[in-house]
Chain A
């Protein structure tokens, strides 16, 4: 009996990539060589096992929210803002009907709950001091900055997402400031209080994430806080237009 078949020939045999003459030679060898037959069986078993792997795997929670936020912010990660869509395209984020005060109240409640949740999570951790937010009375769109003047760097995996949120928030905040004269004083007060609350929540979640970059739950919470702020400002801008 001849020597064992080469690894490449065994693979080509399994893949059906041998010429007719080669295939005849290989078959003849396999009929006599148990080791090579075993190798071919192993290759086929590997292929069958691989093809039997589940076609879908549940994605991590919060992925859709991040996709939606990036789309709303103009696709910052890919560097192709949605403004590249045709000029007659409708807005990226559909405008929802209706104003009102009820959403402001609901938003405030959600933000309070969110803030409490983040605070609880952060306070459970040792040695993580929440970053204070200076309450100037004017809501900020910037990431809270530490006393040294430079914001700690979030993990690279979240940096692009945060940049997208901040770009979007800057636009929305400018629109809110420009249109606040059209809002009732009570509405402005509710919006600003809610923004301060969510800014504090962002600061706490962000500081915790900087201290614990691998903590996916904190990344999700921070993303949720940013998303809530985007939604609040967007609804405020819509409210002033109606």
Chain B
């Protein structure tokens, strides 16, 4: 006998909630919020590096999700759809601020190498908060690329498309982020 996969039940439950939320049931939408808010907030926090800003971003993500829900066709899991939406909301906000951050592009040509690069960095549970804090200290573009690539698993070409920048720039931001993180963590 084959046991039912609990993931199927979860997916069915989520689909039922989505259907009810699409009909305007705020209670169903609240249930969806409860099951996804932690991941959305984590994404917003890591991409923004600021707790208050992350709160505003997460707020906007869920308001936007409610608005767009009638267009959600269920071709991907709701959580996947919401995750993409969250990335877009954060990137839109950052694009609006890009002019102010133009100086970062020049920063890409900073020193290529520091002694920290060649130290072995050990990261265990006790260092988790240090790593979170170090990520928050990264410049915006470097942090965004690092989080999308290393935490969320996006490919270079996907990040380039989402951020409307060249793949080479994505690569430069990623390498810079790693270098800075190693510096921060080795202090």
Instruction: List the interface of chain A (C-beta within 8 A of B).
Output: 4, 6-8, 10-12, 17, 35-36, 38-39, 41-43, 45-60, 63-64, 66-68, 70-71, 75, 77-78, 80, 82, 84-86, 89-94, 157
Which of B40, B51, B66, B150 has the most A CB atoms < 10 Å from its CB?
B66
Which of B33, B117, B156 has the most A CB atoms < 10 Å from its CB?
B117
Which of A45, A51, A67 has the most B CB atoms < 10 Å from its CB?
A67
Contact between A70 and B25 (Cβ–Cβ < 8 Å)?
no
The answer to whether B175 has its CB under 8 Å from any CB of chain A is yes
Contact between A75 and B59 (Cβ–Cβ < 8 Å)?
no
A-B contacts counted at CB < 8 A amount to: 146
- In the assembled complex, the Cα of A8 lies from the Cα of B180 at a distance in Å of 14
Give 1 or 0 for each of B45-88: 1 = CB within 8 Å of chain A CB. Answer: 11000011001101110111011001000000000000000000
Sample of 23 A–B contacts (CB below 8 Å): A11-B175, A17-B156, A36-B118, A39-B117, A46-B182, A49-B123, A50-B150, A51-B150, A52-B128, A53-B46, A53-B132, A59-B38, A60-B51, A63-B37, A64-B37, A68-B26, A70-B59, A77-B60, A77-B63, A78-B63, A78-B64, A86-B70, A94-B25
- In the assembled complex, the Cα of A50 lies from the Cα of B151 at a distance in Å of 6
- In the assembled complex, the Cα of A58 lies from the Cα of B55 at a distance in Å of 11
Partner of B38, one of A11, A41, A56, A90: A56
Q: What 9 A-B pairs come out closest when comparing CB atoms?
A: A49-B123, A56-B38, A90-B24, A59-B41, A57-B42, A50-B150, A42-B121, A67-B62, A11-B175
Query: Contacts A59-B58, A86-B70 known; A71 to B123 CB distance under 8 Å?
Result: no
Contacts of A68 in B (CB 8 A): 26, 30
Which of A8, A42, A48, A85 has the most B CB atoms < 10 Å from its CB?
A42
Main secondary structure of the interface of B (DSSP, over half): helix
Contact between A7 and B179 (Cβ–Cβ < 8 Å)?
yes
The answer to whether B112 has its CB under 8 Å from any CB of chain A is yes
- In the assembled complex, the Cα of A101 lies from the Cα of B100 at a distance in Å of 55
Partner of B118, one of A39, A45, A59, A92: A39
The answer to whether B137 has its CB under 8 Å from any CB of chain A is no
Contact between A7 and B112 (Cβ–Cβ < 8 Å)?
yes
- In the assembled complex, the Cα of A27 lies from the Cα of B20 at a distance in Å of 56
Q: How distant is B54 from chain A, measured CB to nearest CB, in Å?
A: 8
Partner of A7, one of B23, B56, B66, B113: B113
- In the assembled complex, the Cα of A70 lies from the Cα of B33 at a distance in Å of 14
Contacts of A41 in B (CB 8 A): 120
The answer to whether B136 has its CB under 8 Å from any CB of chain A is no
- In the assembled complex, the Cα of A157 lies from the Cα of B59 at a distance in Å of 11
Contact between B119 and A42 (Cβ–Cβ < 8 Å)?
yes
Contact between A63 and B58 (Cβ–Cβ < 8 Å)?
yes
- In the assembled complex, the Cα of A90 lies from the Cα of B27 at a distance in Å of 14
Q: Which residue of B lies closest to A56 (CB)?
A: B38
